[in-house]
Amino acid sequence: MADQVLNAQVTLLILLSVFTGFTSLLIYWSYQNFTRQGLQLQLATESAFIAKSTDLEIVTHYNREYPVNAWRGFQPFKVIEKKVETWIPYKGQQVSDICSFTLAPVNTPTPLPLFFPGQHLSFQLPLNDGLNVRYYSLSDAPHPEHYRVSIRRALPPRDSDPEVMAGLGSTYFHDQVKQGDIVLTGQPAGDFYLDDRKKKSGTVVLLAGGIGITPMVSTAKYLADIGYKDKVVLFYGIRHPDEIALDRDLIQVAKSSLNIEIFACCSGPLTEIPELFKHEHIHIISGFKNDGSPLINEAGRGCRIQVDLLKLYVEQPETADFYLCGPPPMMKTLVDGIYFWGIPKHRVHWEGFGPCAVAWPADILNSALKPCSITVVDKLKGDEKVHMEWSATKGAILDLADQNSGKVRKIPRQCGQGSCGTCRLIYKGNVVYEKKPSYSGLKSNECLTCCARPKGDVLIYLK
């Protein structure tokens, strides 16, 4: 009997040992599995955090609608080249006038997202009044490893008040940003561009004034790169040859594409033809002969870009597309002239320097908006009120305020295109937009003055 009890105890101990061992193995396997899953979760969390912190959104499609290696917000880019294109006298010394900055990504994988020629980059800059966003046109054809912008130093007008400051953004780039520095850069964007998916044939006419040459060089280089077959004509408005920017690019375009012709219209007197224009596809127009024909590569009294010149060099205008970028007076003259030439609106594309009160003449003639009054209430001047009369020819609310600069304090602005929200102000009344602005942070009582037009009398509160 004692032996049976002993045997039973031994058997029970063996079973307990086996059970304990099995349980230990089960616990160990569960722990390992839990640890593995935890590690996977940790790695996934870290990856998500890294992706969020760098804000990269990797996309596999290499096209413009779904750009590869796209990102949101701003990413660090390194200035790998800084080149002064032109110089200008200012306060008794020569300072850089137009400067090109070539930017390579620090964290963003390459190839960089493609862009349409004519689009711009945005930059977040540490300016005197805090972090601000500025927008500058891309001045090169798309490249997988880098972008390039060319920026004109925004100096005060010659006859302006001494207290008027130079542009903060352009001054920062010219005076502070050096080769090797890092700048926070947004992805290429903008509604002004040539879309080669739609424009597959027909003449392309590029009209540039001053720094407006930057998107036109980008467009001309891109058309040369893709081997565009039809004629491309670039008109470049300058005062004198010393103002010519991106001369290396112009020569490159002229050499690489036999169907691209470049005409520089020099508005000031010209006595000598620069070496740049001694090329069979680059010409300077310096005035007109007695018979009305243009003086080409000869001394002359000066000539501005005008529609009569376009008619001499634009073949088959009914199938041509026109792209314009320059100062408002030039833009208005050319847009009006192209309209009366009979070119349809869908073939004319323009972008001015910031807010630009240029409208398609037919839109003014057929506008449903009636003349009205805009009253600006200046909160910094004890609610002082200024009354302005508006009509469709006056452009957006901000344009009208600029036209009354002697009465109305300058409204803050940056992009001039309804994308940044800097110009938004509180208002009462009704406003309309020709095109829905991309800025999405408007409150119900705010409007974007750079692109809003009044529908009846409006009250604007200037902060």
Q: What is the pLDDT of residue 50?
A: 30
| CA-angle at 159, arms to 156 and 165, nearest 5° | 25
Tens of pLDDT, residue by residue over 164-208, are 678 889 999 999 999 999 999 999 998 899 998 889 999 999 999
| Coil vs helix vs strand at 448 | strand
| More confident call, 144 vs 27 | 144
| 143, pLDDT greater than 50 | yes
CB-CB contact of 133 with 420 (8 Å): yes
Q: What is the pLDDT of residue 44?
A: 34
Q: What is the pLDDT of residue 163?
A: 60
Q: Which of 406, 402, 391, 286 is nearest to 353 (CA)?
A: 402
Provide the β-strand partners of residue 279.
Answer: 282
Provide the β-strand partners of residue 378.
Answer: 384, 462
| 22, pLDDT greater than 80 | no
Tens of pLDDT, residue by residue over 232-266, are 999 999 998 888 999 999 999 999 988 999 999 99
The residue length of the chain stands at: 463
Q: What is the pLDDT of residue 47?
A: 34
* DSSP type of residue 159: T
- The number of CA neighbours under 13 Å toward the Cβ of 98 is 19
Two tokens, residue 443: 């409150």
- State how far the Cα of 245 lies from the Cα of 209, in Å rounded to an integer: 11
| 443, pLDDT greater than 80 | yes
Which residue is listed with tokens 């004319």?
Answer: 348
For the residues of 178-194, what is the DSSP string, one character each?
Answer: -TT-EEEEPPPB-S---
Kindly report the pTM of this predicted structure.
0.80
Cα 442 to Cα 159, 382, 451, distances in angstroms = 36, 25, 13
| Residue 6 pLDDT level (bands cut at 50, 70, 90) | very low
Tens of pLDDT, residue by residue over 358-367, are 889 998 888 9
Average pLDDT (18-38) is: 44
- State how far the Cα of 292 lies from the Cα of 108, in Å rounded to an integer: 55
Q: What is the pLDDT of residue 182?
A: 98
- State how far the Cα of 77 lies from the Cα of 180, in Å rounded to an integer: 10
Q: What is the pLDDT of residue 67?
A: 65
Write down the mean pLDDT value for the chain.
84
- Distinct helix (H) and strand (E) counts, the chain: 8, 22
Q: What is the pLDDT of residue 141?
A: 96
Two tokens, residue 192: 């002004």
Cβ partners under 8 Å of residue 432, min gap 6 = 369, 452, 453, 455
Q: Cα 404 vs. chain centroid, distance in angstroms?
A: 27
CB-CB contact of 128 with 168 (8 Å): yes
Q: Cα 433 vs. chain centroid, distance in angstroms?
A: 20
| CA-angle at 251, arms to 259 and 104, nearest 5° | 110
Cβ partners under 8 Å of residue 136, min gap 6 = 120, 121, 123, 149, 150, 151, 214
Q: Which of 270, 74, 269 is nearest to 182 (CA)?
A: 74
Percent residues over pLDDT 70 in the chain: 83
Tens of pLDDT, residue by residue over 286-323, are 999 998 899 998 889 999 999 999 999 998 999 999 99
Tens of pLDDT, residue by residue over 75-104, are 999 999 999 999 999 888 999 999 999 999
Q: In what helix (H) or strand (E) does residue 261 lie, and over which residues does it extend?
A: strand 260-266
